Structure 1
Amino acid sequence: MKIFLWGLLMATAVVLLTFYFIRENPLDTTSFLSLEEKEMVAWQRAWMQINPGLTEHLKSFKDMQRNSEPLKNVNTQILIGVPPMEKKLLTIGISSVQHPQGSYLLETLQSLFFASSLSEQKHFVVLVHLASPDPKWLGRMTSNISALFKPYIQARQLVVINTQGKSYLPLKNLKKKFNDTPASVAFRSKQNMDYAFLMNFAANHSDYFLVIEDDVKCVPGFVTQIASILSAWEKRFWMTLEFCPLGLTGKLFHTSDLPSFVRFLLLFYQGMPCDNLLSYFLNLSHQKTIQFSPSLFQHRGDYSLEGKFNSLKATEENNMGCPSNPAATLYTNLNVTSDSVLMNAYSLDKNYFYTREAKAGSYLTVFLHMPATVFHVQVLTGSELKEENRLEEGQVELGYDSTNRVIDCDDYVLLGMLVNGTLNKHVLSEDSGKQVKCVRLLVTGTPPSGLIVRHINLWVK
């Protein structure tokens, strides 16, 4: 009896300490979850520490990587389209089922293609998994997709698949967790398999895989922004890059890592929701999700996939306040005429800087009088009303100075590319603690007419 009470006391202590850690640690990888969701994850982690059976998961996981049995009987067929002949940079994967409150899938596909330029579309393929056994719904959705997105289908930019019901693992007599109803447990268990079959099909068609849910809006130019991040992180090791904090939306993988995660989803499909399983997978792999903001995707509906009201949406951070724009001097090789003031590009009023000509290689550098910890940068070009004189091809770089140069910096890193003449983003978390000395706007493609730089805004700590 004493041993039992001692074990119960230890279990309670572990759980309470874990809950305290999640509430108090702002750097926790689940910081974007609600308190209720954090407690679910905390309970799972704490229970693993006190239950010897669950601590065998890591061994089972490693053994599972050498076993293809979970995928042996999977039968996925193509309903619409043909995969691209050449390997793409990116596969964008969507898994969709029938929603009690209606479907946003068609609107999501429209947003995805409309938010991408023709040049961007050449570098990705969209893969949709219609994960429902209802033949009427499948027929209706395939008919609508075929009619609305015919050009993309013909260009091999859109493929629609379905996995037959016999491929799924059992969905009856599932173990209840987190006080969920049997229906909720069955739903999320099937959803884990839906994503597993989607990723399994996607593993060989591109270098990277981006998953989004079927009810999101896409930020214009999101493909270019992701490509610029991939370029900046090319020589760093990572397993998942996160471009949206909600669910699995906006999570980016190397396609070479997908087989491991697919088998992991199938092994633990009853355990917890797929986004929590991803965190669990990364923990076992001794990795963490690398987060970027602001979010490139936003949820459309007020209801979750199960038809429950969902007030959790990805929004821009509105609590940053006004830009700081600390004291600085501006330098440029652009032509500054007598009727234009270079400092207007950095002012916090409505004035702006205009130059009649800009060429590739031109720059405008903000040289801070004192190095500062810059955590957000905004660059706005072009006329605010007519959208003329924008810089369509340009990038923003952060400069650091270790040799005390007078008007420049000796080391620059890419922050991001301009999209539709604009950049608005946080500094990468890895570099946010470093003191920035320069912020440089670099012209990478000659604009057809003059250039307006409305604002270069900095937020500093």
Structure 2
Amino acid sequence: MLRRRLGVLFTAVLLTPAFVLFFVSSPDLSGEQALVQRVAEMRERLHHAEMLNQQRLQDVMVLSQKFNTILQPTVLQKNGTGYGQQLSKETRMLLSNLSRSSAPDLHLPSIYSYLPHLLRSPESTSPAFKLSRGRHSVSLVLGVPTVRREVQSYLMTTLANLITSMTPQEMKECLIVVFVAEWDIDYVHQLASQIERKFPEHLESGLLEVISPPESFYPDMNNLRQTLGDPMERVRWRTKQNLDFAFLMMYAQPKGTFYVQLEDDIQTKKGYIATMKKFALQKTAEKKNWFVLDFCQLGFIGKMFKCVELPYLVQFFIMFYNDKPVDWLLDYLTQTKICNLDKDTKHCKKAKENVWIHYKPSLFQHIGTHSSLKGKVQKLKDKQFGKIQLFFPHNNPRASVETMIKPYKTYTLQRAYRGESYFWGLLPQQGDKLLFNFDPPVSLKGFLFRSGNVEHPSDRLYNTTVEVLPVQPLSRLPHNIRTKLKVTNDSYLIIGEFDDMGVAEGSVQEGLGVVRSLRLSVHEESDNWAILSEIHILTPDSR
């Protein structure tokens, strides 16, 4: 009966939109290759369906144990409300049959064996905050844990890169879970609101979810054992990270076929989703019994697992959360699964390569400098990734440029305008200007200024306006322009401003005529340096 039901489910999987979508969007595959990958994906989805079925069976067993407890004579006698008499004969017979048929003699370890404090607060295994449209049955779940960083946050840059590097079709078959590993609920709400403002359509579609864990999920962090000779601050940091990853993986497990662990300070490449799926299905089709597919050489970034195998990791992390860092635990778990103690390390390494398979070149690069561990600076880079684009050059109209902001080294405004580099200036002050004098004057169609870059996302222009000086006197401009746009004391028209993500973008109204100059005016002193990574002046001749 179970096999028959799974067969029906197997057929249903073939007809799911996400499954069909992947193969419709893979026109470069030959018919034979497409068929091989189709069979591989069917196999993985069937394994996932069997996992969900086993979880439901476990739920039934737990429920039957509770029924068995209810039926105990001592419980019925102690209940002074006459509950035992209220049960009908048929109900008591049904519960009795259920409890006798499935009540186990063995009681296996569970999460409560290693985190016994959870027994005192059942709500601890549910998110304290959840912003979700309930997307499930996806091909890929991307887990992005994030914490509050004292120096600068890379999260918005990372999410923007992950999303813009997907195709519209891939956005329909993926799920990005942002795990805010903080207990300050006000901060969680603040960050969630920022994500809502930046990515409203992707939250609405279900591509993005935001969750945070309850503090009660974690043990007393001041009562941990000091291990590895580390200072207690580091022990607490890596202990919390182990449990963060376990919570995130437990949440993600039922939602997709594959799970990819990421970080909040990374960049990726166009087509990374298709590349990862193709590689995973290829290894499945080759009948490789892989455990980890590694798309980045650093730490725990870009590690792909089958969702059906996440319980191995979760159990291991929860058992040894106080003992080792999370990436070490992954390595030890793999060794435990595959290495023969009678053989030497060379044999072990070769055996691990069969189940921990590296993809080259790397698909993810670490861009963060400041670790979430206070005071820790890490300039880790994956040499196999290649170069990250730090600026975006454009063929702008001829102009002379000047600024009051002192440039750092050779990162001048002139080179940035010509598309040779980016501008990097020291501590903008109120009243500073970045001026572009066009020679000859030009008709403007639009503009785009992007501040900050992936390595320094906080080096943005804040409270800064975009202003132009038309050749025509203001009195000769159309009435709608004169009344709609604000005018500065020196006759510049304000046509835009930088948003909270450090971007100023807009079109220019017809009727403004030819423009002699454009400038950026800073209205507030900044605590950070400022980067202009993109300067794009659009004219009618721009392409």
Shift of 1:64: 11
In the other structure, the counterpart of 1:454 is: none
Quick one: structure 1 residues 256 and 160, their matched pair in 2 at CA, closer, same or farther if it must change by over 3 Å? same
In the other structure, the counterpart of 1:305 is: 372
| 1:260 and 2:331 correspond | no
Query: 1:80–1:146: 8 Å Cα contact kept in structure 2?
Result: no
Structure-1 separation of matches of 2:147 and 2:250: 18
Query: 2:228–2:323: 8 Å Cα contact kept in structure 1?
Result: no
In the TM superposition, what whole-angstrom CA distance separates every residue of 1:241-289 from its partner, at most 9, and x where no partner exists? Answer: 1101111110000001112211211110011111111111111222542
Report the 3-state secondary structure (helix = DSSP H, G, I; strand = E; otherwise coil) of the residue aligned with 1:208. strand
- Quick one: which amino acid aligns to residue 304 of structure 2? L
| 1:289 and 2:356 correspond | yes
In the other structure, the counterpart of 2:170 is: 120
Structure-1 separation of matches of 2:313 and 2:385: 31
In the other structure, the counterpart of 1:145 is: 195
Structure-1 separation of matches of 2:128 and 2:385: 42
Supply the RMSD in Å over aligned alpha carbons: 2.0
TM alignment of 1:325-404, pairs within 5 A: none
Structure-2 separation of matches of 1:218 and 1:278: 23
TM alignment of 1:45-84, pairs within 5 A: 66-69=109-112, 70=115, 73=122, 74-84=125-135
Query: 1:193–1:269: 8 Å Cα contact kept in structure 2?
Result: yes
TM alignment of 1:125-274, pairs within 5 A: 125-234=175-284, 235-274=287-326
In the TM superposition, what whole-angstrom CA distance separates every residue of 1:115-155 from its partner, at most 9, and x where no partner exists? Answer: 11111212210011111011332122011011111111111
Shift of 1:78: 4.5
Structure-2 separation of matches of 1:295 and 1:81: 30
- Structure 2 unpaired stretches of 5+: 1-105, 339-351, 387-543
Give the count of matched residue pairs.
Answer: 255
Structure-1 separation of matches of 2:108 and 2:260: 22
Query: 1:203–1:256: 8 Å Cα contact kept in structure 2?
Result: yes
Query: 1:100–1:306: 8 Å Cα contact kept in structure 2?
Result: no
Quick one: structure 1 residues 64 and 262, their matched pair in 2 at CA, closer, same or farther if it must change by over 3 Å? farther
Structure-1 separation of matches of 2:262 and 2:288: 24
Query: 1:76–1:163: 8 Å Cα contact kept in structure 2?
Result: yes
Report the 3-state secondary structure (helix = DSSP H, G, I; strand = E; otherwise coil) of the residue aligned with 2:254. coil
Quick one: structure 1 residues 285 and 309, their matched pair in 2 at CA, closer, same or farther if it must change by over 3 Å? same
- Structure 1 unpaired stretches of 5+: 1-62, 319-461
Query: 2:297–2:382: 8 Å Cα contact kept in structure 1?
Result: yes
Structure-2 separation of matches of 1:162 and 1:255: 20
- Quick one: which amino acid aligns to residue 94 of structure 1? V
In the other structure, the counterpart of 1:108 is: 158
Give the structure-2-normalised TM-score: 0.45
Structure-1 separation of matches of 2:175 and 2:150: 28
In the TM superposition, what whole-angstrom CA distance separates every residue of 1:353-385 from its partner, at most 9, and x where no partner exists? Answer: xxxxxxxxxxxxxxxxxxxxxxxxxxxxxxxxx
Larger CA Rg, structure 1 vs 2: 2
- Quick one: which amino acid aligns to residue 229 of structure 2? N
In the TM superposition, what whole-angstrom CA distance separates every residue of 1:181-233 from its partner, at most 9, and x where no partner exists? Answer: 11111011001101110000001000000010110011111001101101211
Report the 3-state secondary structure (helix = DSSP H, G, I; strand = E; otherwise coil) of the residue aligned with 2:280. helix
Q: Percent identity?
A: 29
Shift of 1:82: 1.7
Report the 3-state secondary structure (helix = DSSP H, G, I; strand = E; otherwise coil) of the residue aligned with 2:209. strand
Quick one: structure 1 residues 317 and 92, their matched pair in 2 at CA, closer, same or farther if it must change by over 3 Å? closer
| 1:279 and 2:331 correspond | yes
Quick one: structure 1 residues 81 and 303, their matched pair in 2 at CA, closer, same or farther if it must change by over 3 Å? same
| 1:92 and 2:142 correspond | yes
Query: 2:178–2:210: 8 Å Cα contact kept in structure 1?
Result: yes
Query: 2:262–2:303: 8 Å Cα contact kept in structure 1?
Result: yes
Structure-2 separation of matches of 1:314 and 1:237: 26
Report the 3-state secondary structure (helix = DSSP H, G, I; strand = E; otherwise coil) of the residue aligned with 2:311. helix
Query: 2:365–2:385: 8 Å Cα contact kept in structure 1?
Result: no
- Quick one: which amino acid aligns to residue 310 of structure 1? Q
Report the 3-state secondary structure (helix = DSSP H, G, I; strand = E; otherwise coil) of the residue aligned with 2:193. helix
Q: With CA pairs under 8 Å and 6+ residues apart, which has the higher RCO, 1 or 2?
A: 1
Quick one: structure 1 residues 120 and 185, their matched pair in 2 at CA, closer, same or farther if it must change by over 3 Å? same
Structure-1 separation of matches of 2:107 and 2:157: 38
Structure-2 separation of matches of 1:246 and 1:64: 39
Quick one: structure 1 residues 128 and 64, their matched pair in 2 at CA, closer, same or farther if it must change by over 3 Å? farther
- Quick one: which amino acid aligns to residue 271 of structure 1? D
Query: 2:368–2:379: 8 Å Cα contact kept in structure 1?
Result: no
Q: Which has the higher helix share?
A: 2
Quick one: structure 1 residues 171 and 222, their matched pair in 2 at CA, closer, same or farther if it must change by over 3 Å? same
Give the structure-1-normalised TM-score: 0.53
Shift of 1:179: 3.2
Shift of 1:309: 1.1
Query: 1:192–1:273: 8 Å Cα contact kept in structure 2?
Result: yes
In the other structure, the counterpart of 1:314 is: 382
